[in-house]
Amino acid sequence: MSQLENDRYLRALLKQPVDRTPIWMMRQAGRYLPEYRATRAEAGDFMSLCKNAELACEVTLQPLRRFPLDAAILFSDILTIPDAMGLGLYFETGEGPKFTNPVRTAADVAKLAAPDPNQELQYVMNAVSTIRRELKGKVPLIGFSGSPWTLATYMVEGGSSKTFSKIKAMAFGEPKLMHQLLDTVADSVISYLNAQVEAGAQALMIFDTWGGSLSGPAYREFSLAYMQKIVDGLVRQADGRTVPVTLFTKNGGQWLEHMAETGCDALGLDWTTELADARSRVGDKVALQGNMDPSMLYAPIPAIEQEVSRLLASYGQGTGHVFNLGHGIHPDVNPEHAGAFIAAVQAESAKYHLDES
């Protein structure tokens, strides 16, 4: 077993005793940090940063130099898989990701093949192994992917969408075609995440950003069924340790019981679900990650500290909670406020673990 100086995050995900609640932040390596902006400028553009293992490693480590976080997360993008499928990913300033070759027809779907993670996505594996080496066992490294439904929304819409009209037209009008597409994407995610584990990732997270756009039955059919397939297909042991898996559906708080049935280890929560309610609903089945509103970081520091105390009390005594924001940190947040948030979790959470450590 590879030794970790700090395995609090892995232990909490597996509901094992910890001395305090572990914390990391979604998008902790990002534009709110001036050092990130400098490295991105050096890379030239976002995808060049993702594809350069040394620079991707540098930005992954930047927040850990500033803050005593309990985990590092691979610096990458959820759209690496569709890009490797040849859909022509590019980024429009102020408009987000777009694809030159969206998937709209049966012929488009038939052309897709799961990319080989050690060929077309080798740059991601290079980044994982570089980061793991440079972490030197200080904290665990989280690997991740987008969910099949979320990746498919970008692939079919050709970019971001407010209405999801094209993908929903496919899902409801041509469900067989939709399932064929989701199946191919799910197979791609399984091989991609397993390759990340082989390269050194010690925990995995699946981001289902757009699952919350569906009705309950459609969510179970088009999103959750494919996350279930992924959970079933993942390597869950490496380096003599369990590799915990976290599922996160934004705006998915109403489906936590269904999500907990997949066999994942933890569920991510956005800020619209109260921790106490989520814990009472899922019981001891899974750990919970979350869930402060990222916009709280605009508030004065005493207000941030008060909200941290409220959320810790909402979860209550015992292990099984990883503190995080309910989504990614906003780019214009003052890093000092992020630091105060992390410090507050560390100072306040030990009393919730007195019977454990």
CA distance 124 to 235: 18
Pick from 83-97, 204-218, 238-252, 301-315: least confident: 83-97
- Residue 214, pLDDT above cutoff 90: yes
- The mean pLDDT of 198-208, rounded to a whole number, is 98
Determine if residue 104 is labeled as part of a ligand binding site.
Answer: no
Q: Has 31 been annotated as catalytic?
A: yes
pLDDT in tens, 122-153: 999 999 999 999 999 999 999 999 999 999 99
Confidence of residue 4 (pLDDT cuts 50, 70, 90): very high
CA distance 172 to 141: 38
Confidence of residue 346 (pLDDT cuts 50, 70, 90): very high
pLDDT of residue 268: 98
Confidence of residue 97 (pLDDT cuts 50, 70, 90): very high
Q: Has 154 been annotated as catalytic?
A: yes
Determine if residue 293 is labeled as part of a ligand binding site.
Answer: no
Determine if residue 258 is labeled as part of a ligand binding site.
Answer: no
Q: Has 279 been annotated as catalytic?
A: no
pLDDT of residue 3: 86
- Residue 8, pLDDT above cutoff 70: yes
pLDDT of residue 269: 98
Q: Has 20 been annotated as catalytic?
A: no
Determine if residue 27 is labeled as part of a ligand binding site.
Answer: yes
Confidence of residue 252 (pLDDT cuts 50, 70, 90): very high
- The mean pLDDT of 188-210, rounded to a whole number, is 98
- The mean pLDDT of 180-203, rounded to a whole number, is 98
pLDDT cut 70: percent of the chain above it: 99
pLDDT of residue 356: 60
pLDDT of residue 1: 57
- The mean pLDDT of 164-178, rounded to a whole number, is 98
Find, among 70, 206, 226, the residue nearest to 146 by Cα. 206
Q: Domain segments of the chain: what residues? A: 46-66+71-235
Could you say which of 19, 37, 66, 77 is catalytic?
77
Q: Please, what's the b/e burial string for 208-217 (b: 16 or more CB within 10 A of its CB; e: otherwise)? A: bbbbbbbeee
Q: Has 284 been annotated as catalytic?
A: no
CA 333 to chain centre: 20
Q: What's the predicted TM-score (pTM) here? A: 0.97
> Would you state the CATH architecture of domain 46-66+71-235?
Alpha-Beta Barrel (3.20)
